[in-house]
Structure 1
C-alpha cells in the first residue's frame, strides 16, 4: 500500500514533457506544472504568431504566461528525492586492536597473539592491555592497586630470594628489600618505606640535576666554541687559498713578462746577426758576379788572333786578378743561446726548489693542526709544574709585589720603583716575565671588593698611554676576565661580555691557553672546574699573563702553573 502511494505521488510530481521529476517547477494558469526549462523550450520552438497552449489540456493563452517558480512543489520534489534515496547511516567505527611489537610490552593475560600493554600494576606485578585493564577500574579492591606506564622492569622490583615486592628501603645498607628481608637479614637495620626514601633522595635530586645542567651548559659552550673554531679554520683556509691563487697569478704574470722580455732579446740578437750575415751575403754575391764577368772576358780573349790587342787586354785583366781581402763577419749564434738556455734551466730549478721547500713548511703546519684532548680537571692541568713570575719592571707604582713576585696588591701607597720603559704608568697592572707560545695553564687566587682583572697580553701593549690605551682588555693586544664579588665580565678591545657569578663563589680562577689553536679559557676552580668563558681567536705574538688590580685588592699565583708543549722558550724580561 505504501509503495503504491509513493508511486502516485511520484507520478503527480513528474513533468509530462520530460517524464522526470520536476526541476525548477512552474505552474501555468490552467493549473498544470512543468519543468521551467521544458515548458520554455516547448513554447520557444514556434514563431512569433504561434499560440501558447498547455501540452496536457490544450488550453490556449493569448500571450506567453509568466513562468514563476513554484516553491511548494520544489520542496515536495526534494522531500520525495530524500525518501527515495535515504542517506547512508555511518557505520560504527571498529575498535583498533593494537598487537604488541618486538619493542613493546605485551599483555600478560592475552591468549594467543598478545596485545600491547598500556599499564603495569605494581601490586599484581603484571602488565595489561586496555580490555584486561578494565577490572582495575571497576572492582573496588583492584582500584587501590598502583598503576604505572607499561614497563618491562617489573621483575627488577621483585626480591629474588623471597619472590616478593621490594617495598622498603634499608638505609643501613642502602638497598631495596622486601618485608621478609626486613625481618630476616636486615633485622635491627634502619628500615624506611620506599616513599620516605624517595622524598629524601628527591632533596638531592635538585642539586644533582643542577650539576648536570651546568655540565650541559659547559659542553654546549664548548660545542659552540668548537663550531666557531671550525668556521674560523674554514674561513682561514679559504682566505689562504684565495691569497695563494692571487700570489701564483702574480708569479705567473711576472714569469710571462720575463718570458716576453727574453723572447724579445733573442729576436733582437737574431735581427742583428742576420742583418750582418745578409750584408756579407750581398757582398759575396757581387764579388762572384764580378769574377764570373772577368772569367768570361778571359775566355773571349783567348780566342782573339790580334796579338797586340791580346797583350794589352791580358795586362789589364791580369792586374785585377790578384788576391783581394774579402771582409768576413763571423756568425756565433750557438754560444749565446746555450748560455741563455742554461740560465733559464737554472732559474726553473731554483723556483722548483723554493716552492717545494715552502710547500713543505705549509704541510708541516697543516699536519700540526689537530684536535688535542684538553685536560678536564685541575689535577690533570697541574701534573707537571712550572712557575710564573711577575716582572717588577712592568709593575705600576701603586702595586706592591711580594712572595718572590708571586703576589701583587694595590695598597694605593706609591712604591719607589726606578724608571723603566716597560713600566705601566697609569693602570695598576703588571705583566709576567715568561711568555707563552704553546699550551699553558695557571691558577690564581684573588680578593678585594674592587676586584681584579686576569689577563693575557702581547708584550707590545702600550705602557705610557692613559686609560684604555694600555688597560688590559681595552685594547686589541690584550684579553681580560674582570672579577669582583658581585660581577664577572670578559673584555677584549670594544667587546664586553657579562658572565654569571660562579655558584661556588670561588676566588680561585684557572686560565688555559692553547696558543696554536687560538684558545683562551677561564675556569672557576673549587672541588670541580666549571667553565666561565672561552675565546677562539688567532694569536700573532707571544702571550704574557698579566693582572689589573683594583684598590685594596690583591692576586697571587695558586701553587704552581704548568706549561705544556711550548713551541719555543722565551727569555725572561730584564
Structure 2
C-alpha cells in the first residue's frame, strides 16, 4: 500500500486572530505566529503591546520577523490542497474514512468494504486483483442508512410489495416471494412516476394560476364596472336635481312675472284713482265756493254741472279689488312635491331591495311605467317576486307557427290540442312545426331578462321553454340545447295507472323529483347570463334551471362574407322565442295551456 501523506492539523495553519489561513505569517519574540496585518491591526487598536496568546508584554512594539520555513510550508500545503487531486474535505463533502489527522475528500465509496476512500487510499482497489471486484459508487455520507439492519448488507433491491429497499439476503428471507427489482430500475421507474406527478402538479398549478388571474381580472373588471355604474348613477341623480332646479326656476319666474303684471295693473289703477281724487277735490272746492254765493240764478246754473260730476264719480268707483289679489300656489307645490317624493321613495326602496338581494335577483335597468301609478308598493319578499315585479312580459301565441292539431284562441293566450280531425290547411299556408305539436310566441328577445307564466293545471302532457328562431320546421320531438332549445316537459306514463313524470328537455334524462304537481309554471330567461329557469309559482320554488346556455352565436366566415357582399348586417345575438307544446294521450278529452297574467304583488 502506498504511504499515507501526513499533513499538519487544520488548526495549526490558522491565525489565532482572524481564524483563517495565514497571510504573510510573522513571528513575535515569544515564538507565536500571526498574519502581519492581523497583529499590527491588533496593536493599532489601542490594545497593550503584548502577545494575544501568551499575554507577554513588550516595552515597545517589537520588530516582527518573517518565519521563512513556516511560510514555505504554508505555500506547499496550499499548493497541494488546491492543485492536487487530494483536496481536504470541506463541510458538506464526504471525508475519507481512512485518513487520521487531516481528512481528505473521498473519491469513491466501496459497497463491499462499506467505507469511503480518498485518492491515495483508493489505490489498492485499483491495483489489487481481489479488491478490483468490489463495487465502487460515488461518495455517500450516510452509509449506515444504506446497510440492512438485519443482515448487515448493502441495500441493492427495492421490494414493490412492501415499498422498501432490501438487501440480497432479504430476498431469501422475509421477501422471498415478493416482487423486487434492482435499485437502478426502481429508481428509473419511480423517477418516471415522480415526473408524471410533477407534470400533474404543474397542470394543477397552471389551472389554479389561471383561475387566480381570472378572479383578479373579474374583481378588477367588476370594480371598473362598479365605478362606471356609480358615475352613471351620480349623473342620473344630478340630472334629476338639475331638472328639479330648472322646474323651480321656471315656476319662480312665472310667479314673479305674474306678480309684476298684477303690480303694474294695480299701480295703473292707483294712478287713475289718484287723478280722480284730484278732480274730486277740485269739484269739492267749487261746491264750497258755490255754497258761499247768494246769487240764486248763478247757483242754479252751476248746480246742474256739479250733479253730472257726482254721477261720473259714482260710476268710476265700481272697481273689484279681488282682481288684484295674489293666488297662492304653495298648496299645489306641496301636493306635487309630496307625490314626487312618494314615487321616488317607492322606486328607491325597490332599488335598495334589488341591491340587497342576490345578484340573480337584481332589478332591471328600467322600471315599468305602471309602477309610478301605484299608491302603495310592496317590497319583494323573495327572488321570484323580484322577477315578477321587474321582468314580466306580455306573451302572445303566433298561430301561423302552430302544429296543425293545435288550436289557438283569438286573443293568442290559450292553446288547445284537438283530438278530433281538423280541416286541412290551404296549400299556401306553411306552418312552422309540421311534425311536433309545438308553437312559438309572436315576439322574441335578444337581450335583457324576461319572464312569463303559464297555467298548466288540468293539462295532460305539455312542454314549455324558449327556442331560437332557427329551429327548423321539420324537427321531430322536442328541441335539445345543442339544437337551440331549452325546455321543460311533463309526460304521462301508463303502467297499471297513469303516472306523471317531469323531465328537463328530453325524457332520456332521469325524471325530476317534485314535491307537488305544479299548477302554474313561470319561465325566466336571463339572456346576458345565459340562464333559463322554471318556477312553481304557487309553491314559489325553483323546479329546474339551465346555466351557461349558448345563446350568442359565432357566424361562419362564409356566412359573414355573404352578408357583407349583400350589404346586410349580421347579428350574433339571435332572438329567443317563448316555446309551447301540448298534446294528450287520453282519447276522451282535449288538453289546454293558458298564458296567465303575472301578478306583481304576491
Q: Return the TM-score normalized by structure 1.
A: 0.38
- Structure scoring higher RCO (CA < 8 A, sep ≥ 6) equals 1
Q: Return the TM-score normalized by structure 2.
A: 0.36
